[in-house]
Structure 1
Amino acid sequence: MQTSTAEKRRKPRNTNSGMRVVRIGCKDGLGHTRWITADVVDSSPAGAGLSLSRPLEVGQPIEFRPSGDQSPARGRVVWCRDNKDGTYSAGVEFAPEGAPGKSGPAAGPAEENDFYEIMQLSPNADLETIHRVYRILAQRYHPDNRTSGNQPAFLRLSEAYAVLSDPALRAAYDARHREMRQVRRKILTEMEAAGGAAAEKQKRKAVLELLYAKTLHDFEHPTLTIHEIENLLGCPREHLQAALWFLKGKGYVQRSDNGRYALTVEGFEQAELAGAPPPEAALRGRLLAGPGEPASP
């Protein structure tokens, strides 16, 4: 006889499920999938309790992807609470047969962070270095640190560490990471092949697309550093200086005192007029190094 949802709810929660960090995929108002990193605080066969940096809408269908060797699941949000400290707590109810289980490596998320960038590591870093850097950054970003605590950064760090500290998961991630770098190099090669004014137009278009997608995807943190732009486009910063100078001069981009770039209202409008792709396509094609070619504005 199949166990009912009500019976599952009566079972004690498991606070040591192994699902420490997960990706939550949900649809935005335009129907695009957005991925949010969340920390699992407890779980049961029927669902899980999450801590995350953004609110979820009650009743919202979601896809639940653990970072380890557990299979993805589908479900819906049953409650969400603002903790008044920049974080949110939420309860997720799994769909029938939807609780994550041990069934081999989970499929890679539609969007993937650069774990080496998050941990400020070289892809050649050894395991001892990974452990050491994690301890340093975890102390810095842990929410209990009143000086430099940062819950979203801590969740991203935990996700990166869970993968890079596991030899099998790291090997699979490294294969994808190499592919991402190859795609970025291809973008740069195409830009250089165009040559002259055409290449500069492509660079300006690419920067606008990056910042446009970042603004739509993460409105509370819509900025990128020159290092991030450089890595995401696979283009050395010295080749981006003219494009950034032009965009700032036109009032499309502004640079803050801490060196981060963001779109202005005029730049947001220009990105749309220039034919910026939908945010999901831009994120996959630029921020996450998926396929895509920059077009001239």
Structure 2
Amino acid sequence: MSTDQDFVDYYETLEASCNASFETIERTFRFLAKRFHPDCSEQGDRLRFTEIVEAYETLRDPEKRAAYDAKFESFKSEQSEIIREAGHASSDTADRHRLLTLFYAQRRRNMNSPGIGVSTLEEMMGLPTEVLDFHIWYFREKGWLNREESGTLSITAAGVDKIESKVEKEEEAAARMRITQSNEAIALP
């Protein structure tokens, strides 16, 4: 359990609640140990058995369990944060579109100085540095953004193509909707 990535959920391993009593931990351990013991011909699994024993050894000792539970709470808190952040994906998509549109507008407005500084972007977008850094990384990986000699960031031709293709798709969708609406209006008596 050296890092959160290496963290093993012993409660999950023993198929028990984190609020389980010692007796429940003992019962589930015995059941699982018997089931996965390497000598068991049907379901024997040495690796799974070793994990079960390790979980039991930690959770049966009150001191070890208290230390583990502190790490477990930290792990659960981090997992909850990841879940909350995952809910922001649609918001991130909208932010990326707005950001790329800003770069597009700057390039069109001033070809001789097409870049925008990061601090200016933070002010314009109202995004924290960490979020902005994520979007900038994404744009650079996609080839939609590059760094100018002045240190500012500017949209690339691929980025312009991305914006223009999105605008074309939106215009096509709007035209389809207008046609659909006009056909419905004609069909009414």
TM-score range, shorter chain: 0.3 to 0.5
Structure with the largest fraction of helix:
2
Q: TM-score, normalised by structure 2?
A: 0.46
Q: Which entry has the higher C-alpha Rg, 1 or 2? A: 2
Report the TM-score when normalising by structure 1.
Answer: 0.30
